[in-house]
Chain A
Amino acid sequence: MIRSALLALALLAGPAFAVEPDEILSDPALEERARAISANVRCVVCQNEPIDSSNAGVARDLRVLIRERLVAGDTDQEIYDFLVLRYGDFVLFNPPFKPSTYALWLGPFAILFIGGIAVALTLSRRSRKPVTKDTRLSTEEEADLAKLMREDTTK
């Protein structure tokens, strides 16, 4: 009985969220948008964490601010623009595609392309070599082999 109660409790316990109850909006649709935006915004203190899961003071302020602007009727894009204006593209986990980020977005594909060319070249070069080849031993090799075999048996 106690064991099953403990198990039930353990199953009920979810992961700890940084978003505190007093931050959550009463409108579930707006709250969902707020969560989605927060998950894509980098915390400037603990830099590999989104503000949605960060306990830093600034992260909390930004979460509250995002919710205030949503309630005021801002679109998602307006909120992202507001944040980028203050903290730069750095705060976005999904940086925009523009000249300064071309290397970031296109670099992996460029490297894959170069690698593909290298593989293609290597393979085409290999196939040019004659496939059929005389695999029999030459008379000289036959003689050497026979000699080695003899040495082995006499020991």
Chain B
Amino acid sequence: MKRVLFALPLLVALIIGGFAIWGLSGGRDPSSIPSVLISQPVPQLALEPIAGVDTPGLTTEDFSKIEGIKLLNVFASWCAPCRAEHPILTRMAQEEGLTLVGINYKDKPEAAAKWLAELGNPYEAIGSDYSGRAGIDLGISGVPETFIIDEDGIIRHRFAGPVVGDGLTRFTEALDEVRK
């Protein structure tokens, strides 16, 4: 009994240390918020197209109509990281058989149109969310954010931040998980 008691502090230290190591390793981000939308269908959206852009607007029905895996990218022309991830998302849409749809978040239509004309428009549909209400319905905290939506229109992954560098690696892993 005595011997067990002597080992107790060591055991407690090992448990706390182990928890700390677990918490600090594996690229876990304590500030990342788990999305409640995972495994849920896309919330009700009925967004108008951007004025002056030919791409159609975005509704929830689109996600069940379009076949295959869809990426829903929330972007804005005023957002610099969106500019950084744009060519990568464009390449994914062109080469990997993914359908890219967008939500233009709190953006002036003219600015968005100019941005798309300059950088190219890889989106099948873009909904204009000038008020930011669709952003709240999707539970976003800022732009850019990209959701991976499967064949059945179910949200499988929420990715906050630009899909570049380390982010691209993590995003690709999440995408492979959905493709399985």
Chain A contact residues, CB within 8 Å of chain B: 44-45, 47, 57-58, 61-62, 65, 84-88, 90
User: Which residue from A47, A62, A84, A90 sits with its C-beta under 8 Å from B136?
Assistant: A62
Of residues 94 through 129 on chain B, the ones whose CB sits less than 8 Å from some CB of chain A are: 106
Contact between A87 and B142 (Cβ–Cβ < 8 Å)?
no
B173 contacts the other chain (Cβ, under 8 Å)? Answer: no
Give me 20 A-to-B residue pairs in the complex whose CB atoms sit less than 8 angstroms apart, sorted by A's number: A47-B31, A47-B33, A57-B106, A57-B132, A57-B142, A58-B135, A58-B142, A61-B132, A61-B133, A61-B135, A65-B136, A85-B36, A86-B36, A86-B37, A86-B137, A88-B33, A88-B34, A88-B36, A88-B139, A90-B34
Chain A: which residue is nearest B137 at the CB level?
Answer: A86
Chain B contact residues, CB within 8 Å of chain A: 31, 33-37, 43, 106, 131-133, 135-142
Q: How far is the CB of A1 from chain B (nearest CB, A)?
A: 49
Docked pose: A87 CA to B38 CA in angstroms: 11
Chain B: which residue is nearest A88 at the CB level?
Answer: B36
Contact between B33 and A90 (Cβ–Cβ < 8 Å)?
yes
Given contacts A86-B37, A86-B136, A88-B34, 20 further A-B contacts (CB under 8 A): A44-B33, A44-B139, A47-B31, A47-B33, A57-B106, A57-B132, A57-B142, A58-B140, A58-B141, A58-B142, A61-B132, A61-B133, A61-B135, A62-B136, A84-B36, A85-B36, A86-B43, A86-B138, A86-B139, A87-B139
